Copies of this chain bind each other. A is one copy, B any other.
């Protein structure tokens, strides 16, 4: 061992001990005959002091040293004259007796400190240096602790972690698969799993009763800010349970993680909201409940006043931004521009200022009188000083736009505190989504999701009205996980496949081995999967999942540090009996 202690360990009671430390040079300061060196490792920082008068040999070494050199020192722990209460080791320093350079270091291309001067791309190319910075180091330690806590909780609940295969088959349903050509079976391909869905259901058929796995999953999607081609799930499945059992078990997991990791205890049961209510009151299936500002439908109160925009709208909805009546014309114009962005897609925005004196000032004063506006204010529960913002148009699209506006106002009003957590179960999702382009129903969750028993008669009459035993866990507007009770009755499954437009042949081709397995005694079962990267990133207070992943890929799916993907040898292609058709088109 190159050390007796780590750089985060020494305290006042260690004074006068002879110790040995090893680590990286964070900083060197000369003050007269004294040279101070801050030595860093994963555990912390310790101040070293080298005295030119008593230790000329060491000073010679120190003079050669630079930032990020790896050194080993022997010395005596002393009490500091000027203590540093900001540092865990701030009561002591090491009077260095011997110093040994273990490795020199080139000057890093950016500073390795809490805050860095390095740009995003540069830091990604030198990810191994960026990972030295304390914020990233804390994220990696947090991730480890959360994985351990998750496993400990589930183990105590009788769950078994069972590894499912990574080299499986391509399933055309869902997102695009990454595929892996098979050399031993030329012309054939494995696919990397988008989730272990089928395998965990098979494990239930096998009687494993309670399964979980922290598992890498893969999706070949065009990447957005918060997506990675490989990501990690907490994947779970249980047998002989109903929806209520799953909600309770995994509410328990989330409570446990918050308590163990963040010291946060939730006193009340997690709130539950139907998907229909979430859409009606928040315009989103993952509402952020850290603040109120619900959507209020005011269409009936706007009729008969010849304001064509509202008259022709299927839906007119409002939110009430507290204390924002003072918003200037410029601020209101900004908000209008915000909702008119193509991603949000509103045509315009109407506002009503609820003035302090009880009067109202609106952008539609020409059409609506004070009594009209008062009626709107009343249903919106607006008080003097509040600002009512109104969008109109097709119901679904307008609700979604209002949801974005609500979130924007939440951010502007400072209502999105990162240290407040508002967990929510969204339940009663619709079974099906109708797709106009292909003129067919798609499974909103996945094709094995069970309808609510009381809605089964609706399958024949009006599939769009059928609700599923499906649920999402949402915290602060982030969907952390979701799942469903599965169908275990093969006749019901056949009916669902029919509604989804799968011929029997197609269903067999896609899900044949699972359907076959179900013939041999499938128990009632259901499950859930959490996005582990998202969970860690929420606990770390990050805006992106990237910095809770040690070696993430960029938005083109590249690892710029190792420069992957890359060309492979012709020999490898020949063995796989593959030919590349396009010229290599490297970004």
Contact = CB atoms under 8 A, between A and B. Distances in A.
Interface of A: 1-3, 6, 22-24, 40-43, 68-70, 72, 102-106, 108, 126-129, 131-132, 137, 140-141, 143-144, 147-148, 151, 155, 160-170, 172, 176-192, 198-199, 202-203, 205-209, 216, 218, 220, 222, 229-230, 232, 240-242, 245, 488-489, 513, 517, 519-524, 549-551, 553, 556-559, 561-569, 572, 575-587
Contacts of A70: 521-523
Nearest to A106: B519
A187 B567 contact: yes
B220 A183 contact: yes
Contacts of A577: 580-582
A208 B140 contact: yes
A179 B576 contact: yes
B161 A565 contact: no
A582 B577 CA distance: 6
Contacts of A216: 163, 166, 216
17 contacts: A42-B209, A103-B524, A126-B520, A143-B163, A144-B155, A163-B550, A164-B550, A167-B178, A170-B572, A178-B180, A182-B557, A184-B220, A184-B222, A186-B585, A188-B565, A191-B568, A198-B562
B579 A162 contact: no
A432 B43 CA distance: 37
Contact of A160 (B23, B140, B245): B140
B580 A581 contact: no
A240 B163 contact: no
Given A179-B572, A182-B557, 8 more contacts: A24-B207, A41-B209, A129-B520, A131-B207, A131-B208, A132-B207, A166-B218, A189-B567
State the oligomeric state as a number of copies: 2
A215 to B, nearest CB: 9
A207 B148 contact: no
Contact of A132 (B180, B191, B206): B206
Contacts of A104: 521
Nearest to A245: B1
Contact of A167 (B161, B229, B584): B229
